[in-house]
């Protein structure tokens, strides 16, 4: 199957029907899948540790604790704690519910995409970190501990499992970057992530991972994150 790249989408409701995606266990590149991918993960994580320290100091200067943890679904459905740089105000979940309760359009956007183009909870430093996707950097620790990989599906929260129509996600370690992360991520719905994950699981190789890591540099430089 091919991954569809969408133009700008404004009609949130037309994406609310999840598209079911089939998945077949691949047989290619078994050595890379089992050993090579993990070795490259560990090597590149060690090289990036100074960047984590620099960004954490930047957040502390903004008056906030730099790190926080959230639950995510890992390979095989196992729940793990994901590390991120703090980009939102305290009690962000309560602030979100209060905002959505008084804004019907934002509620429809959140239900379709599980994110907001204009999220009032994000701090000034947080806007920069999210635009550049640098708020994801502490997940290098999750890569080092084996909960994640440098390249893989976007980690999803436990409460999002019912919104996800695919199966390939559960055969992979979630990734710091991946096909969805370097694509039209701001235009595709949450359910459409399954298409990217199915394509990646079918085609995963060292060459594909290298292309996605290089593409991630372009995403960071263009500042397309939200």
Q: DSSP letters along 105-172, please?
A: HHHHHHHHHSS-SS-TTB-HHHHHHHHTTGGGTTHHHHHHHTS-EEESSPPB-GGGGGG---SGGGGS
Which pLDDT belongs to residue 27?
53
Give the separation between CA 153 and CA 151, rounded to whole angstroms: 7
User: Would you say the pTM of this structure is higher than 0.95?
Assistant: no
> Any bridge partners for residue 85, and if so which?
67
Per-residue pLDDT of the chain (226 residues; tens, 9 = 90+): 444 434 433 444 444 444 444 444 555 567 777 778 888 888 888 887 788 778 878 777 766 678 888 999 999 999 999 998 888 887 788 889 889 998 899 999 988 888 888 898 888 888 888 877 788 888 988 998 999 999 999 999 999 999 899 899 999 999 999 999 888 766 778 888 899 999 999 999 999 999 999 998 887 777 665 5
- Tell me how far the alpha carbon of residue 114 is from its chain's centroid: 12
Contact 199, 211 (CB under 8 A): no
Give the separation between CA 68 and CA 25, rounded to whole angstroms: 35
Spell out the domain ranges in the chain: 41-87+122-222
Would you call 67 exposed, middle or buried from its count of C-beta atoms within 10 A (0-12, 13-18, 19+)?
middle
Query: Quick one: which of 47, 51, 53, 50 has its CA closest to 67?
Result: 53
Query: Quick one: which of 57, 56, 74 has its CA closest to 145?
Result: 74
Which pLDDT belongs to residue 161?
92
């Amino acid at each position: 199957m091919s991954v569809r790249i969408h133009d700008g989408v404004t009609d949130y409701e037309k994406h609310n029907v999840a598209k079911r995606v089939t998945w077949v266990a691949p047989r290619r590149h078994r050595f890379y899948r089992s050993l090579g991918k993990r070795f490259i993960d560990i090597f590149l994580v060690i090289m990036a540790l100074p960047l984590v320290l620099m960004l954490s100091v930047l957040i502390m200067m903004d008056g906030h604790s730099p790190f926080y943890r959230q639950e995510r679904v890992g390979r095989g459905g196992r729940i793990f704690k994901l590390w991120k740089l703090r980009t939102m105000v305290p009690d962000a979940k309560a602030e979100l519910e209060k905002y959505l309760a008084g804004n019907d359009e934002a509620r429809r956007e959140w239900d379709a995409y599980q994110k907001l183009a204009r999220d009032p909870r994000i701090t000034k430093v947080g806007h920069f970190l999210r635009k550049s996707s640098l708020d994801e950097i502490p997940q290098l620790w999750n890569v080092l501990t084996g909960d994640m990989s440098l390249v893989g599906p976007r980690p999803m929260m436990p409460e999002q499992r019912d919104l996800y129509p695919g199966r390939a996600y559960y055969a992979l370690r979630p990734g710091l970057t991946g096909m969805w992360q370097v694509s039209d991520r701001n235009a595709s719905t949450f359910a459409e992530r399954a298409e990217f994950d199915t394509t990646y699981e079918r085609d995963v190789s060292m060459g594909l991972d290298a292309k996605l890591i290089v593409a991630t540099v372009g995403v960071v430089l263009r500042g397309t994150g939200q």
